[in-house]
Structure 1
Amino acid sequence: MTDLADLDAVELCRGYRRNEYSPVEVMEAVLARTEARRDLNAFVSLQPEAAMEGARAAEALQQTGGDLPPLHGLPYSVKDLTFTRGVTTTMGSRISADFVPEEDAVAVARARAFGAILFGKTTTPEFGHKIHTSAPLFGRTMNPHSPDVTPGGSSGGAAVALAAGMGPIALGTDGGGSVRIPSACCGTVGLKPTLGTVPNLQAGDLFSSNVHVAPMARNVADTRLFFDVIRGFDRRDPFGQAQMPTPRRCDSLKGLRIAWLPQAGNPVDHEIAALTTEAVDRFAGEGAEIEEITLDFAALEPHFMVVLEALLAGRVGAALESRRDDLDPTLVIHVENGRKHSALDLAAAGAARTRAFQQVQEVLARFDVIASPTLSAPPLPHSQDPHGPVAINGVPAGRVRATWYPYTFATNMTGHPSISIPCGWDTSGLPVGFHMTVAWYQEDFLMDAAALAEDVFAFDLAARR
């Protein structure tokens, strides 16, 4: 018999409406699973009392026989970078360990209003700064598929929780791949929407922001269910001023025009290359039109680092002198680098971002989807230096960001919506992610195509749980 904690969000919602499942029993199962998997260290904090109170209220509403909200009774977690009213939001840092927001982030408020029940805050590296999910505040988060490798970052706790059955949906953030990287490492799904489609009012400079609030789940249908509730423009977000355009849909892989990007100026692990090429071949077998393209996203890395490090310096720099010993040493390096970047560096980064946007637009004028691996190599060992070179096929291949995930940070620079879905397992038993990007505001088309691909790939996460 399937444990209630392993049920997907769409199935739970359907069952609630038929009165087949109890929100109280589901929440109890999720909390029990979370307690049983404390070894994974996926949560900074849990809110069991409030969660059970919310579940009892959901059950009472369900018994009235009236209409239920879209996320009725669904347990969900929030990455601990995102504001949650009345619930500590640490940013993964000792320097903000006692911060309690007075207001919810927009996505959290929408999830709450439409019936989802917050039960915990998931782990993140300090201020989301690195590829591993570890921090002095809480220690190391473990990959549920192997103790030897990272679950990725910075929404690592969220992906681990999903993969281990600790909640069917999760809210993450993505500033360079932070929902897609851990999704690829853990075998889950992460959607980075178009910039501004899910408002993110926490950024100090919204005009140059590249951080997206993003839904995560174990499959595309659950990701879409969550996204449909948290999406929608907001007058306070400069990228959220227009109404959503009429959605374009994708009802078949036949005739789908795919630009295949096997490399982005970086080397790729042989097994990753083989598995993702096999995935593209399956698209072709379903009638998709495939053409290989070239884009040097790796060359964007110095400009991406200027944006990232300037942001971190602005956010954390004031604490550097008084609380340096409380900070992760890898974060200190970023902040010190950020202090050295000049206005000319920022201008050059903005120009590079513009060029990259135009290049992606040119490709998407001819194709429906840009497809690639999510990562160029399997999940990295915990010992990987976030500032050092990564080895690909046993050979040092360049700095981690330019080499391991140029596919993901590039679309943070351009703002295009992207999704990572699992497409298979490597010979070490680790999941492999497949990355898809479409035109601005075309999330419905993207998720249609991803759902079709999901059926073709037939990836089974539950079998490895």
Structure 2
Amino acid sequence: MTNPLHLSAAEAAAAIRTRRLSPITLIDAVLDAIARTQSTLNAFVTVDDETARAAAREADAAVMRGDVLGPLHGVPFSVKDLTWTKGLRTTMGSALYREFVPEEDAVPVARLREAGAILIGKTTTPEFGHKPYTDSPVSGVSRNPWDLARTPGGSSGGAAAAVAAGLGPIALGTDGGGSVRIPAACCGVLGLKPTLGRVPHVHAPDGFGNNSYIGPITRTVADMRLMVAAMEGPDPRDPYAFALPTPPAPGALRIGWAPRVGNALLDPEVEALTAAAMRQLGGTVERVEIDLASEEEAFLVILQSSLAGRFGSRLTQDRHLFDPSFVEAIEHGLGRSASEILAATQRRTVLFRQIVALFGRIDVLATPTISAPAPATGLDPFAAFSVGNGAGEAGHIRATWYPYTFPFNLTGHPALSIPCGRTTAGLPVALQLVGRWHEDNLLLDLAARMEEVRPWAQDWPPHAA
């Protein structure tokens, strides 16, 4: 049989159902691979070997008994360390929560377990997911399996690095401004920010003003479909998680192509690879001129004021425990006025209506996911970011590197990052597709089309397990 680490979740589940693969063998292989790569990739902050192996033995017994099996029976999955896992510590990347053990699972974690998947551990995150690359006071620096000198992105960097390196075929991340899509793009895997409410998020600090999403990271479209099907659906504790409508399928596909969205710079290789991938989607293409980079200030006001509301009172006592860049974000938030915060939330509505109007004339918006490949580790999120191997003009990292991602956290639209090639230096590049609310499946259909014509899942990074 193929190396079990190279099986997709769909392939592994099928092999387990037909008794060609034991869940015990699969879980052992993944846990051994994590142990081998932890010193280099540092993708995990907690590995639950004992519980995972016990679950694998029970999963194997269920197969032998002829029990009814879930669609992900025996398949290992990991969870970003911002998302609650019952009985397994959830540090949030913060020394404050180093020993926090939730008493319940987040809804998508519980639903994946119900589908038969086996939780193997928690992946690394920056403190409370506050920056787009992954290092924290709890776990240190995580690295990209394509190039250990580079970041896997963030804030779901550990999750994306794990999937890219074969440390489990599927993972859960969270996305508060691109935090699933950015690391997926950096590591050459798929990452979906679902429509707001499609995957319930009952532990969000502000249910009604939420702009953070729990989303899947996978190597294949089929695996992403399995994860979404297992996780989606209403939950009364999330005000946006109601019964999902079934949108009509579009006729002739209309693609809006926006290689720049108010950002001055775009890496030439990124532009060429994403444009070529976009043209292979089929349909008609319209060049779209839209300024999303200018929404950075509203996004920052909402993000920083939220962090200040949650943690501002802790600065005097616990400043020494926090990541310095996290302290800086809180302090910016404490300086925001009530009128600034209200204006930013109103701006969110203006942007939403602008995007809805855009989707009156197109079916899908296509952009690069990030403007340049993964940078080196150790960057200051408040320092200037450059595009084009350091030769480009520097600007704020959100408006310069990922102006394509954070606006759709504000509007709630589904957005999918799809691998679409590598640079001459061998670094992954990704195309982002954005759809109307609840048209997540259309994005996955288009990703499947691209997967057929330019497959990526068979490409393994040099530092894979």
TM-score by length of 1: 0.96
Q: In the alignment, does 2:331 pair up with 1:323?
A: no
Alignment of 1:9-408 (within 5 A): 9-38=9-38, 39-241=40-242, 243-249=243-249, 255-266=252-263, 267-283=265-281, 287-393=282-388, 394-408=391-405
Which digits, 9 at most, give the CA deviation of each residue in 1:344-374, with x for residues without a partner?
Answer: 1111111211111111111112111100000
Question: How far apart in 2 are the matches of 1:7 and 1:460?
Answer: 10
Q: Which moved more, 1:444-453 or 1:52-61?
A: 444-453
Question: How far apart in 1 are the matches of 2:248 and 2:454?
Answer: 23
Secondary structure of 1:53's counterpart equals helix
Secondary structure of 2:406's counterpart equals helix
Question: How far apart in 1 are the matches of 2:324 and 2:458?
Answer: 35
Which digits, 9 at most, give the CA deviation of each residue in 1:402-425, with x for residues without a partner?
Answer: 110011101001000010010000
1:304 positional shift: 0.3
Question: How far apart in 1 are the matches of 2:204 and 2:29?
Answer: 35
Identity %: 48
Q: Which moved more, 1:125-134 or 1:272-281?
A: 272-281
1:247 positional shift: 4.7
1:135 positional shift: 0.7
RMSD between aligned alpha carbons?
1.3
1:385 positional shift: 1.9
Question: How far apart in 2 are the matches of 1:360 and 1:461?
Answer: 35
Q: Check the 8 A contact 1:151/1:185 in 2, yes or no.
A: yes
Q: Check the 8 A contact 2:219/2:457 in 1, yes or no.
A: no
Q: In the alignment, does 2:425 pair up with 1:436?
A: no
Question: How far apart in 2 are the matches of 1:19 and 1:459?
Answer: 28
- CA gap 1:139/1:52 in 2 versus in 1, 3 angstroms: same
1:225 positional shift: 0.5
Q: Check the 8 A contact 1:126/1:331 in 2, yes or no.
A: yes
Q: Which moved more, 1:29-38 or 1:375-384?
A: 375-384
Gaps of 5+ in 1: none
1:461 positional shift: 4.8
Q: Check the 8 A contact 1:232/1:244 in 2, yes or no.
A: yes
Gaps of 5+ in 2: none
Q: Check the 8 A contact 2:159/2:171 in 1, yes or no.
A: yes
Secondary structure of 1:392's counterpart equals coil
Q: Check the 8 A contact 1:187/1:461 in 2, yes or no.
A: no
Which digits, 9 at most, give the CA deviation of each residue in 1:51-81, with x for residues without a partner?
Answer: 0110111111111223211111110000000
Q: Check the 8 A contact 2:299/2:410 in 1, yes or no.
A: yes
Which digits, 9 at most, give the CA deviation of each residue in 1:375-418, with x for residues without a partner?
Answer: 01111121422111111221233100111001110100100001
Secondary structure of 1:389's counterpart equals coil
Q: What is the number of equivalent residue pairs in this alignment?
A: 458
Q: Check the 8 A contact 1:247/1:445 in 2, yes or no.
A: no
Which digits, 9 at most, give the CA deviation of each residue in 1:145-199, with x for residues without a partner?
Answer: 1122111000000000000100111011100000000000000111111111111
Secondary structure of 2:332's counterpart equals helix
Question: How far apart in 2 are the matches of 1:359 and 1:292?
Answer: 16
Q: Which moved more, 1:77-86 or 1:342-351?
A: 342-351
Question: How far apart in 2 are the matches of 1:111 and 1:416?
Answer: 23
- CA gap 1:197/1:416 in 2 versus in 1, 3 angstroms: same
1:249 positional shift: 4.7
Question: How far apart in 2 are the matches of 1:406 and 1:378?
Answer: 14
Question: How far apart in 1 are the matches of 2:299 and 2:94?
Answer: 23
Question: How far apart in 2 are the matches of 1:119 and 1:3?
Answer: 19
Question: How far apart in 1 are the matches of 2:361 and 2:218?
Answer: 31
Which digits, 9 at most, give the CA deviation of each residue in 1:18-59, with x for residues without a partner?
Answer: 111110000001001111111200001000000011011111
- Letter in structure 1 aligned against 2:313: A
TM-score by length of 2: 0.96
